[in-house]
Amino acid sequence: MATRQRHGSTTGQGRRRQQRQQPRQHQRAEHHAQPANGQEDEATQRGIHDEVPVGLVTGPFVAPIVAQPLFYIPPSNAPVYHPVVLQYEPYVPFVEDRGVVAGPEYVRLLEASMLWNLYGEQGRGEGPQRGTGEPHEGAHDNAPQHMVGAEEGHGDVQQNPVSAEDPWEGLENEHYGPVVTSYGTVSIMLRHCVRVDISVHGAVRVVNFPKHCTAAINSGGECSCICHPCGRVLQQGGIVHMATGTRLAQISIRGVTFTAFNHGLVYLVDASGTKSTTERFQILSYDIPLNVFAYEVPQGAECFDECFRIVREAKQKTSRNGEEIWIVNGVRIKQTPWGDVQVSRDSGRRVIWTSPTAGTISVNTPIVKSAMSCDPRKFFFVKVGQKRLNASADAFTVRNGSQRAGFDSRGRLILP
């Protein structure tokens, strides 16, 4: 039996009854949705109405997990110390146990390292005047060392020199001409306190006592150096290391790289221009001329026999204009009446020149030409082919062909 279902009327009284019931239902739903008095603020504080990201499960005991970024490195509270290079170890950093960075140890007092054993035997060489300047144990001997800070830069200028006493005065009167030393070398003491050391194999070292500068060329001729109060140069084959003041530079096949102690970047000047790069500079804080000169000095009785033969065959003459010329073991030594000394070997292809009055010293070889002087307008010059470096009291300039860069007097980078 079919049953009838009640249908809402779309017209008449049924339609009006549905319209009256719908507002009542909406009001009842809104009444249930509103919180009680004082509960809305608590709900807001608990974050009930906050939007929850899709896919994140929340609950009363579940906290959102924050993932650490890739390559995350936790911060460290430990202080960071910059590595400081020590004497005779060019690339070893050192930090004291107390956390104080140790400044670089520079070479012993220059005049103390180049005195003769004569003063030690006479009792005048106690303390800082006992070094001989000849081949010895180097860093492990008892010669005094001079400590300066990293901001003082390179050079042999002493804070408390003993040069005022001039302990070498009178040496040329007592031992003028070539003599054989106890280290297997031949030494020629010239006028104006200039000494020339020659090894059996032809290595040469020139010491300018009054102006505290030294230059040397090894026996093979592929290595040379200069130590001067204004800076240092070490040439090893095709690589030249330089240091003047607080500036470091290096000439290699790449070009010319340079930086400064208080500068955070290293710059490369090549044929294309100037750019920042990375470089490992060698610290020249040791007795470079002694290393270059005495690296291949032979020892033994045969060496001394050869030294005595060299002294016997040495020749000396005086020219009409007063120049004194010595020929010792194939090395030509010429000194002018005012004291300038020129030492040449290999038919003039390698020359060392120094002036005891002007404080200038230079080395010319087929690879490098370097010169240093006490003139503040131009006291440092190095040239290797088209690569060169000039330094003065006002600027530090590096050139590579037509490209140029450097530092000004305030240490700021200058570009053309």
Angle at 349 between CA 345 and CA 351, to 5 degrees: 60
Position 296 scores a pLDDT of 74
Query: For residue 242, what are the CA distances in angstroms to 55, 149, 265, 338, 388?
Result: 64, 18, 17, 30, 11
Query: For residue 188, what are the CA distances in angstroms to 112, 305, 345, 352?
Result: 18, 17, 15, 15
Query: For residue 120, what are the CA distances in angstroms to 132, 180, 195?
Result: 9, 17, 18
Position 83 scores a pLDDT of 34
Position 173 scores a pLDDT of 56
Position 168 scores a pLDDT of 52
Per-position pLDDT tens, the chain of length 416: 455 555 555 555 655 555 555 555 555 545 554 555 544 444 444 444 444 444 444 444 444 443 333 333 333 343 333 333 333 333 333 333 333 232 333 223 223 333 333 333 333 333 333 333 433 333 333 433 333 333 344 433 333 333 334 555 555 555 678 999 888 899 999 999 999 999 999 999 999 999 999 999 999 899 999 999 999 999 999 999 999 988 999 999 999 999 998 888 999 999 999 999 999 999 898 889 999 998 877 777 778 899 999 999 999 999 999 999 999 999 999 999 999 999 999 989 999 999 999 999 999 999 999 999 988 888 899 999 999 999 988 899 999 999 999 999 888 999 87
Tokens 């035997």 label which residue?
121
Q: Centre a 10 Å sphere on the Cβ of residue 206 and count the other Cβ atoms it contains.
A: 27
Position 89 scores a pLDDT of 33
Nearest 10 degrees: Cα torsion 411, 104, 256, 293: 140
Position 337 scores a pLDDT of 93
**Cα–Cα distance for residue pair 283/75, rounded to 1 Å:** 32
Position 77 scores a pLDDT of 40
pTM of the full predicted structure? Answer: 0.61
Considering only CA atoms, which of 105, 350, 26 is closest in space to residue 205? 350
Considering only CA atoms, which of 252, 254, 260, 247 is closest in space to residue 272? 254
- CA 117, distance to chain mean position in Å, is 34
Handedness of CA 122, 125, 130, 135 (dihedral sign): negative
Position 361 scores a pLDDT of 96
**Cα–Cα distance for residue pair 97/305, rounded to 1 Å:** 51
Do the Cβ atoms of 148 and 239 come closer than 8 Å?
A: no
Position 301 scores a pLDDT of 74
**Cα–Cα distance for residue pair 287/322, rounded to 1 Å:** 34
Q: Sheet holding 256-260: strands in order across?
A: 177-180, 186-190, 194-198, 204-208, 213-217, 223-228, 231-236, 239-244, 247-251, 256-260, 266-270, 273-277
β partners of residue 243: 232, 248
- Radius of gyration, CA atoms only, the chain: 40
Nearest 10 degrees: Cα torsion 78, 82, 85, 90: 110
Do the Cβ atoms of 87 and 104 come closer than 8 Å?
A: yes
